[in-house]
A and B are shown apart, each in its own frame.
Chain A
Amino acid sequence: MLVLSTVLLSPDPAMANGSSVLVLFSNGRLLPANVEVERGLRHSLSAEHRGSLFEEFLDAPRFRGADFERAAVDYLRVKYRARRPAIIVAAGPESLAFILAHRSVLFPGVPVVHVGVSSTQLGPLPADVIGVPIEYDFSGTIDQALRWHPATRQVVIVTGASPSDRMLEDRLRAEAVRFQPRARFEFLAGVPDAELVRRLGALKSDSIVFSPGYFMNGDGTEMSPRESAMRLATLSAVPVYAPYDTFIGTGVVGGRMPAFFDAGMIAGRIIERLMAGEDAGSIHLPAAQATALHVDWRQVERWGIQTSDAGPDLIAHYKPPEFLEQYAREAAVALALFLLQSALTAGLVIERRRRRRAESSILRQRAELAHATRLQIGAQLAASIAHEINQPLGAILNNADAGIMILDARGSVPTAALREIIGDIRRADLRASEVIRRLRALLAQREVEQRPFCLEDMLHDVQAIMRSEAELRNIALEFMVPEGRTILIGDRIQMQQVVINLLLNALDACADVPAGRQRVSVSMKADADSVTIGVRDLGQGIPVEHRSRLFESFFTTRPDGMGMGLSISRTLVDAHGGRIWAEHPEEGTLLSVRLPISPPQCMAQA
Chain B
Amino acid sequence: MNGAPLIHVVDDDDGQRNALVRLLGAAGYDARGHASVGDFLLYELPDRPCCLVLDLRMPGKSGLDLQAVLNERERPLPVVFLSGNADVTSSVRAMKAGAIDFLTKPVDSAVLLKAIETALAREATQRQAEDEALRVGALLASLSTRERAVLDLIVAGSLNKQIAGSLGIAERTVKLHRANLMSKLNVKSPAQLGQLAEQLRERSGLTRFLP
Contact = CB atoms under 8 A, between A and B. Distances in A.
B84 A390 contact: yes
Contacts of B25: 402
A395 B16 contact: yes
Interface string B1-35: 00000000000010110111011011100000000
Q: Size band of the B side of the interface?
A: 20 to 34
Contacts, number: 88
Given A329-B106, A330-B104, A387-B85, A421 B15 contact: no
B59 interface: yes
A373 interface: no
A395 B84 contact: no
A427 B18 CA distance: 12
A409 interface: yes
A431 B14 CA distance: 12
B63 to A, nearest CB: 13
A399 interface: yes
Nearest to A405: B26
Tell which of A383, A390, A472 has the most Cβ of chain B within 10 Å: A390
A474 B85 CA distance: 16
B108 A397 contact: yes
Interface string A376-405: 000000010011101111111111011101
Tell which of A390, A394, A395, A472 has the most Cβ of chain B within 10 Å: A394
A398 B59 contact: no
Contacts of A424: 15, 18-19, 22
Interface string B25-57: 111000000000000000000000000000001
A403 B85 CA distance: 25
A471 B22 contact: no
A428 interface: yes
Given A409-B26, A471-B57, A393 B105 contact: yes
B84 to A, nearest CB: 3
B22 A391 contact: no
Contact of A391 (B26, B62, B84, B86): B84
Interface in B186-203: none
A409 B19 CA distance: 18
A399 B24 CA distance: 10
A318 B6 CA distance: 54
B23 A398 contact: yes
B109 interface: yes
Contacts of B85: 330, 333, 383, 386-387, 390
A391 B27 contact: no
B108 A395 contact: no
Tell which of B18, B25, B26 has the most Cβ of chain A within 10 Å: B26
Contacts of A395: 13, 15-16, 18-19, 106
B107 interface: yes
Contacts of A401: 23, 26, 109
A387 B84 contact: yes
B26 A431 contact: no
Nearest to A393: B106
Given A386-B84, A424-B15, A394 B22 contact: no
B23 A399 contact: yes
Contact of A405 (B13, B23, B105, B112): B23
Given A398-B20, A399-B23, A402-B23, A392 B15 contact: yes
Contacts of A387: 57, 84-85
A405 B85 CA distance: 27
Given A390-B106, A394-B107, A396-B106, A472 B26 contact: no
Given A395-B19, A402-B25, A431-B15, A390 B59 contact: no
A266 to B, nearest CB: 49
Contacts of A421: 22
A473 to B, nearest CB: 10
Contact of A471 (B59, B104, B106): B59
Interface string A480-521: 000000000000000000000000000000000000000000
A472 B62 CA distance: 10
Interface string A323-353: 0000001100100000000000000000000
A391 B23 contact: no
A398 B109 contact: yes
Contacts of A391: 13, 15-16, 84, 105
Nearest to A396: B106
A397 B107 contact: yes
Interface string B76-117: 000000101111000000000000000011111100100000
A406 interface: yes
Contacts of B18: 395, 424
Nearest to A403: B26
A392 to B, nearest CB: 6
A329 B112 CA distance: 17
Interface string A6-34: 00000000000000000000000000000
Contacts of B105: 390-391, 393-394
Given A394-B19, A395-B18, A403-B26, 17 more contacts: A333-B85, A387-B85, A390-B106, A393-B106, A395-B15, A395-B19, A398-B19, A398-B22, A398-B23, A399-B22, A402-B19, A402-B26, A405-B26, A405-B109, A421-B22, A428-B19, A474-B62
17 contacts: A388-B84, A390-B85, A393-B105, A394-B19, A395-B15, A396-B106, A397-B19, A397-B109, A399-B23, A401-B23, A401-B26, A402-B22, A402-B23, A402-B26, A421-B22, A424-B19, A474-B62
Q: Which 10 pairs from chain A and chain B are nearest by CB?
A: A387-B84, A401-B109, A394-B105, A394-B106, A405-B26, A398-B19, A395-B15, A395-B19, A402-B23, A393-B106
